[in-house]
Chain A
């Protein structure tokens, strides 16, 4: 018993499976077409593991030309396509359907060019997020968006979901850090969108594509911005006796004209779970903790911290603990970034991603606790406080269908709360299948119809990642 619906597979496509596989085998060599049930199983879900569907086939093309050829073939055959990066979507963005071909870009993982003078790199989009930073770090540069899954997730997936991360308070999210893509439309057309320049030549198609959840086309190459790393960075832990104080402190820091690189919030359950996993030295005798990171030279960081500590004191901060070494810094971030994984060791969970105005943080946090308790479940909160992007982790037992349903209902209640507080359903994970049916809570029919018409300008037959983002009923062509 699950709540999220999948469209009924098209029996005509299922019946033609052998012919479709044969057609794919003509385009790609054997090692790039996955057809056996055993091997396809690795692609039947993503990080929304409660849902899974066995795809018709999986292909792993090695070049833009091959992606184009596969898409052209699927377009001609009327076969649906589900693009896939590393499959780390928490919203089910990469979950297949039985009558669709999965196109994975994992074989396209080269860094093509690094240009320090112009501060850009050109990469194939199957490259992992972190490997770009790893490649340019020796020269003192980095690629800014840093989702928690950055070790595994791909730039293709980041483009699909417009991924953020802890440090986007200062450096922005994916859309602010990509200048161009090579983009393949459903009919196989290859387009160069954007380029090395800082602004678009015409309409800002790049801004539309990034975050479109694989519904408009497949990005195979990207020109990403490289930034020079700060002279130094130092995270500081601030422990509070109440979430209210911590939340008010966040608003006060921003209101005072300080924009730290990152401001992360954890409540008591999250602190305990992460500390047990990472041994990062998080204070265990507090109800809420902020990780605030500042950057600059030693004296600059000291000056910024002094200002922040003064504000924190006004909000009754109980513990202030500065990182004293690179190792401590690494541990502090390891604890934060492994929050989801560490929680997974304790219980199954679903991770929400609503964003609210920062002035509403305290209210929404309190109501979140009440909502989850009303379903008899537990919640851990760990999120990007500086930009109001909340991540309540609702803990449940995946093997108990009744509990799963309760967890999903609680999650939906929380997301509606976020929208009602002036926010949105998703800040960085995307809509996927998970929040698809809540879209009408945030958008009017006119809003959604306009989005669908734009979508249809790219893919009139709705073949690309079709079961995502928009409610399954009432879909519009161009």
Chain B
């Protein structure tokens, strides 16, 4: 068994990685460990943790920008920016509940796994807010890309490429994120009793309105409580919030009567949706995340309901379906992937036993041309294939 190393400086990381590259030793990269079970299981010769790389390196509230070393715990970032009424706009999901992990999520892990949440539909994803990175590539070279300014098209964007690459392209050492002011108030409109298709139609109507809906989810009957519940969130200044919730209720009146949830009720509800709390139990169930055009969400679900039983709910206006089913031998992968293929959607097996995630495609299988390109990019960043081998795709 290998021992985890946690160097305290970028230079030491670079040195260690150079020596691994020279000897062809593979490396599993670890942040807080709360998302270690995302992707395919990684067997590697060494474990490198960013635990020792911690601390905010730059925070300019008036510029809405923060830089921190990759191993900085997320709660430290949130404490610093909350003091200035600012936030990470993409609302990163906390995977601890769903994956049953402990420890502290790190800002580097958020970047490496490209973690977003409900506000993605309005404000954009983690990749849309990651302004700059420093990383060590597979040659053991320290590389920077992007920067700390909002607009930057200088050279190839390795920032977005690295965001959501699950540490397969390099070891992030420092990240810079764009922030937004925290909304003054939050309110939610809820409509009860809609079926999935009508619910997504309501969400589409709301998202196509000028009232700047910041989150749109649908919880079918039995997921949380007995009645189906369709939810729309508005975040704004207090006076705007009242006006917009009122207008939205008028707009949706033709679909059904709505009620308003105030902030105290609203905030924990959206946190639960963000963290997929409704599908945490039973622990033995596999959890899939299906990404599609919003109106295709209910169609995919309907097709699957004819084939096996599962519990599910929708985020992102219907475009993100979270689905929990029995893990069994194959977690219904073939049935799900047949639908994602039919609808030009994609599915990730987020939670399942290691053995299953080793055997199945955790990420949507790609067309041959895309796979070739993916492998070529991997080689260009990590020629010896030492970082997180096979975490996204077997053999890459």
Residues in A lying within 8 Å of B, measured CB to CB: 115-120, 140-141, 161-162, 164, 168-169, 172-173, 175-176, 185, 189-193, 195-208, 210-212, 215, 228-231, 251-252, 254-255, 257-259, 296-297, 299-300, 303, 355-359, 384, 387-389, 422-431, 435, 439, 442-444, 446-451, 453-458, 469, 478
Contact = CB atoms under 8 A, between A and B. Distances in A.
Interface string B317-347: 0011000000000000000000000001110
B156 A455 contact: yes
14 contacts: A140-B210, A175-B128, A198-B291, A204-B127, A206-B160, A208-B160, A257-B181, A296-B240, A387-B149, A389-B149, A422-B149, A424-B152, A426-B152, A448-B155
B319 A197 contact: yes
B153 interface: yes
A299 B151 contact: no
Contacts of A447: 143-145, 155
B154 interface: yes
A455 B148 CA distance: 23
B164 interface: yes
B151 A384 contact: yes
Interface string B277-315: 000000000000001111110000000000000000000
B142 A202 contact: no
B237 interface: yes
Contacts of B364: 201-202
A192 B152 contact: no
B344 to A, nearest CB: 5
Contacts of B144: 443-444, 447
Given A191-B370, A208-B157, A229-B210, A203 B377 contact: yes
B60 interface: yes
A369 B167 CA distance: 44
B62 A251 contact: yes
A300 B240 contact: yes
Given A202-B393, A300-B243, A446-B142, 19 more contacts: A119-B208, A162-B157, A176-B128, A196-B344, A197-B293, A198-B291, A198-B319, A199-B116, A201-B364, A204-B163, A205-B377, A228-B207, A254-B62, A299-B239, A355-B151, A422-B147, A422-B148, A428-B151, A442-B154
B239 A300 contact: yes
Contacts, number: 259
A476 B61 CA distance: 40
B259 to A, nearest CB: 23
Contact of B149 (A161, A200, A423, A449): A423
B161 A207 contact: yes
Contacts of B125: 198-199
B151 A204 contact: no
Interface string B156-191: 111111011100010000000000111000000000
Contacts of B393: 202
B263 to A, nearest CB: 17
Interface of B: 60-65, 85-86, 114, 116, 120-121, 124-125, 127-128, 137, 141-145, 147-161, 163-165, 169, 180-182, 201, 204, 207-210, 237, 239-240, 243, 291-296, 316, 319-320, 344-346, 363-364, 366-367, 369-370, 373-374, 376-377, 379-381, 392-393
B237 A303 contact: yes
Nearest to A140: B210
Nearest to B203: A117
A457 B367 CA distance: 17
B151 A427 contact: yes
B174 to A, nearest CB: 14
Nearest to A422: B148
Contacts of B295: 117-118
Contact of B150 (A199, A388, A457): A388
Nearest to A442: B154
Given A191-B373, A439-B155, A204 B164 contact: yes
A469 B155 contact: yes
A430 B366 CA distance: 30
B207 A119 contact: yes
B137 A450 contact: yes
B314 to A, nearest CB: 13
Nearest to B204: A117
A457 B374 CA distance: 9
A165 to B, nearest CB: 10
B19 to A, nearest CB: 18
A457 B376 CA distance: 5
Contacts of A118: 204, 293-295, 319
B147 A208 contact: no
B95 to A, nearest CB: 16
Given A200-B164, A357-B149, A424-B149, A212 B373 contact: no
Contacts of B165: 203-204
Given A191-B370, A197-B346, A203 B149 contact: no
Given A358-B63, A422-B147, A202 B370 contact: yes
A106 B64 CA distance: 39
A164 to B, nearest CB: 6
Nearest to A255: B62
Contacts of A141: 208
B344 A228 contact: no
B293 A203 contact: no
